[in-house]
Structure 1
Amino acid sequence: MMEINLLVTLNAQYLLPLKTALLSLADNNSDITCHVWLLHQSITKNELTQLSRFVNHLGWTFSAIKVDQVFGTQAIDTIHNYPQEMYFRLLAGDLLPQSVTRVIYLDPDTLIINDLTKLWQLDLGTAMMAAAAHAGLIDAVTPLNNLRLNTATKYFNTGLLLMDLGQTRKIIKAVDIQQAIDRYRGQLLLPDQDVLNFLYGSHILEVPEEIWNYDTRKFMTYQLRSRGDHDLQWVMANTVVLHFAGRPKPWEQNSDGRFTTLYLQYRR
């Protein structure tokens, strides 16, 4: 049985979506066991106990680490009121035990519908992590973000990351992230994602988005880009991670996306 280290960083608002994602992972990966690592700031003891019981019920292990503030409050609060927890994934190498050398980070608004082990076993070469880029139909996103952030790489999405923590411990520094936030806060649209791409884009190995970080809003884009090959049957057979990025989320009342019904089956 293969053991995978799975990292999540969130607040209490996303505990139920997290359970839904974990259930989908367990349902479609019966030959693995996971150690779920949670980095958080304010989740209560009772909420952690309930989550631990849920993870244990899946046959997995669970560890929660409460993180003290790692940045100045002003630098975080002035950027669109995003929670500080979203930065914890970038600092996982410093926040997790040194014995943890590789993790898969997952956003809680995901479903895992096929085999995750190929990602876990991926050879990163000299890269410190792997991620997907949401390119769109003609990849207009990349040049716009290259101009906005003065970068030369694809614009990688942080919803799924395979991380070599030995490498991240050498390369990613909290002080560099803090300085980037202070210097570019007026230009940051998705703060942690922008910072990742601005500082570390050249250290990232690209993986196919239609397999590992499928944006559920863009079904028609994927189908057109593949000249019709990536239809719903293809997605269900090949895609591993469905990412319900943006709004509405599939658990919200006004959600009527193509994959909402599948999501609600797991949530229920």
Structure 2
Amino acid sequence: MNILFSINQKFISLTKLCISSMIRFDTDFTFYILHHDLSYESQREIIDSFPSQQFHFIFVTEESFSSFPVSNRYPLEIYYRLFASNLLPNTLDRVLYMDVDIVVINSLRNLYYTDFEDNAYCACTHVNEGLTKFNSRRLKIENTVPYINTGVLLMNLEKLRKIVNSTEILEFVNKNKNRMILFDQDVLTALYGNKTKILDYRLYNLSDRMLSLYNIKHPNEKIDIEWIRKNSVIIHYCGRNKPWKENYMGSLGIFYSELVQ
């Protein structure tokens, strides 16, 4: 299974933690890591921590993305995933991208081999119908296009090589930068949201916020930690509420705590 990360020097520890969580269930991984600042020592640290795994570090020049808006919360690396089909070897047909603020709690195999059904991506949405329509108006796209959470993306690289257009992406960013909120998610939703197969977030992109919202909306069908242990695969500590930070609030932190014990 091909796994993709896009990180900078600050995320070495989280990357190692994410990898540790997934190799508990599967071992046949090849990791591709897009970066612009990882030192040789940092690369060796990752490689030496997992001697049975294969790693490929792909350097990306900062100049290639100088036109993209960034912030403290959204660094340059968030955009690399948009161009993964151009940055990764042409021999790959699919890759699973994941943010590193993730803990895997079951095998990734079913997710990885999901049928694309001719879509460019398989991913989840974390917004309801009302917010979908709001984002559609904001981005000036059809209101039926789902707003994509880019923290977990199964990529159909063969299809993406045919449709990803760097000029189109840059033009969209420059035209819409003043109305963009979640930069890379806005781009991917606007340009490729209608080419994305939507998966069940409860299984493949579960956050504390989405768990709470689901249980509020389905009071007679609430899901608890035991249901999650049995059914969910990816716990995503997205946003600012993370169990390794002070003032964390949520029940899903148990999976992080169990991993670091």
Same fold per TM (> 0.5)?
yes
Return the offset for 1:256. Answer: 3.5
SS at match of 1:192: helix
SS at match of 2:178: helix
Return the offset for 1:115. Answer: 2.0
SS at match of 1:146: helix
| Cα separation, 2, equivalents of 1:85 and 1:262 | 26
Tell me what 2:183 maps to.
191
Tell me what 1:23 maps to.
20
Tell me what 1:143 maps to.
133
TM-score by length of 2: 0.93
Aligned residues: 257
For residues 16-71 of structure 1, the C-alpha deviation after alignment (integer angstroms, 9 at most, x for no partner) is 111111111111x13x4100100000111100110111232xx2111101111364
| Cα separation, 2, equivalents of 1:221 and 1:256 | 14
| Cα separation, 2, equivalents of 1:70 and 1:166 | 26
Tell me what 1:225 maps to.
217
SS at match of 2:29: strand
Q: Give the letter aligned to residue 219 of structure 1.
A: L
Work out the percentage of aligned pairs sharing the same amino acid: 29
Are 1:18 and 1:108, in contact at CA under 8 Å, matched by a contact in 2?
yes
Are 1:216 and 1:258, in contact at CA under 8 Å, matched by a contact in 2?
yes
For residues 62-118 of structure 1, the C-alpha deviation after alignment (integer angstroms, 9 at most, x for no partner) is 110111136452x22x44353221111111111011111110000000111112111
Q: Are residue 11 (structure 1) and residue 8 (structure 2) matched?
A: yes
| Cα separation, 2, equivalents of 1:206 and 1:49 | 36
Matches within 5 A, 1:61-210: 61-69=54-62, 71=64, 73=66, 75-76=67-68, 78-80=69-71, 82-136=74-128, 139-152=129-142, 153-210=145-202
Q: Give the letter aligned to residue 248 of structure 2.
A: S
Tell me what 1:248 maps to.
241
Are 2:202 and 2:211, in contact at CA under 8 Å, matched by a contact in 1?
no
Are 2:208 and 2:252, in contact at CA under 8 Å, matched by a contact in 1?
yes
Tell me what 1:46 maps to.
41
SS at match of 2:89: coil
Q: Give the letter aligned to residue 117 of structure 1.
A: R
Are 1:79 and 1:188, in contact at CA under 8 Å, matched by a contact in 2?
no
Are 2:2 and 2:31, in contact at CA under 8 Å, matched by a contact in 1?
yes
For residues 190-244 of structure 1, the C-alpha deviation after alignment (integer angstroms, 9 at most, x for no partner) is 1111000011111111111111111222322122334334222211111111110
Instruction: Flag structure 1 segments of 5+ consecutive residues without an equivalent.
Output: none
Are 1:17 and 1:267, in contact at CA under 8 Å, matched by a contact in 2?
no
Return the offset for 1:262. Answer: 2.3
Distance 1:72 1:90, change over 3 A: closer
Q: Give the letter aligned to residue 25 of structure 1.
A: M
Are 2:207 and 2:252, in contact at CA under 8 Å, matched by a contact in 1?
no
Return the offset for 1:120. Answer: 1.2
Are 1:101 and 1:166, in contact at CA under 8 Å, matched by a contact in 2?
yes
Q: Give the letter aligned to residue 54 of structure 1.
A: S
| Cα separation, 2, equivalents of 1:198 and 1:70 | 24
Tell me what 2:203 maps to.
211
Q: Give the letter aligned to residue 128 of structure 1.
A: A
SS at match of 2:107: coil
Return the offset for 1:151. Answer: 2.0
SS at match of 1:187: coil
